[in-house]
Chain A
């Protein structure tokens, strides 16, 4: 994104973007460490590399808007305002977790933040997002639904059913594809007949655009503009955020299907140094200020791990709770 950052956003907002991205990165890298120690188990899908999407998009939404995500949902939840301590405790399976240890990595949920869940069936959140948008429209709430999903889910039937429905009923849904180019290990062009993903919405008469998902400011601007469009017109819109995951699909994936040179190219576009460089160049922050933010993020994540470690396990009787009202 060209132009002067100061003209776009306040110093405070820009530093918040930086801080949130660093917290997310520290959180995810800490998760990897805790997974290797056996403290976190099950499937663990990390977000490192994609932070600009969650941070930029969330800033472009209102807190009253609904947000849904998929199974790579830690950063989405934390940026929305979820307490990293309770997210980490959830990953540890502890009773203090954000879902009492019943959801785990892929099922974070925080209704008080309008974070309406991470879902672990690829494409499962599309119809739910449409239903939430319908529900808020019926109740005449000033609220849009932002539905995050990966490129792989665009080949599910629910994607097509839901886009058709959202446009047919004119529902305020902002679809945000996080195109990290791989559905587990299958590259986009091997799974999608039209690999220019944002072009796939034309069959549903839903306008779309492609945005640099490694640029937090670009993501913010695009989302803010799109969200306002959706809010005003009560119609769906689609953003393709072009991004990259620095790690494999999950912790069990060494990502041998892609070359190290490809990953290196993307790592050179890492959204965090990308932003810090610009902050320094434009004199918005000095290195000492950024170091301070980095240290604070590290401390916050360490505290989250400590909290998770010290938290109690759920009681056995808890298995029977929360099934029925």
Chain B
């Protein structure tokens, strides 16, 4: 008698219930790898926070001194953070003043004007600039830009170590970041918007500045904020060219140490764990981390929230 396949004796293979221990193990390992990034962040915040708390718990350090005085020398009881902050802001400001107009212009040229051939030559140059290690930029700032500035402005007017040359070179370093991010934003602006403008008789410049630029504003905003964050966190250019030793000044021709430069100089020496110098570095690093984190988050938020939806 043939065994007819009926609803009574049909038993499908139950694929879902088969346990696959190998797959589970692999999946758990991959999950751990994914979660590790969170562990790193938590460790980072914990370690920075722990040491920074030690600094602020020091009976000598008060918030009034930290934010209210203008001399930074934790070793001898001077805890005013301002000289480091102002020099960080000044070098970053100079860098942004250079990189923003240049980066935007470069991006506009690449996305609106350049022929594919010109693009294929010009784009890699920006990529090379982006790939140069910052210590090399530091060398360039100290041994090329500073002498150049001295020969233009006169040796007496500008110090050997100065914030101006560090800021200028930092601007060149950040230029590729600004230009590539804004170029992405420009190329996300749909073609019909441009065609519409051309049809109305607008010139290329009018189309670029009055149609493409406003449509890409959120992307540009994100690029600017990321650029600022990069400038604040940049270490080697300022460590080489901006000078060592905190100096409360707003004069870009003078030497002044930034937050990052201070960390690099102090930690480069022999440092005993738990000393006030050691913990003070963590206080600065925590500030750096929080500021750049906030800037990065804002930048990401802008990109996501204000992205123009054209489809």
A and B form one complex: no
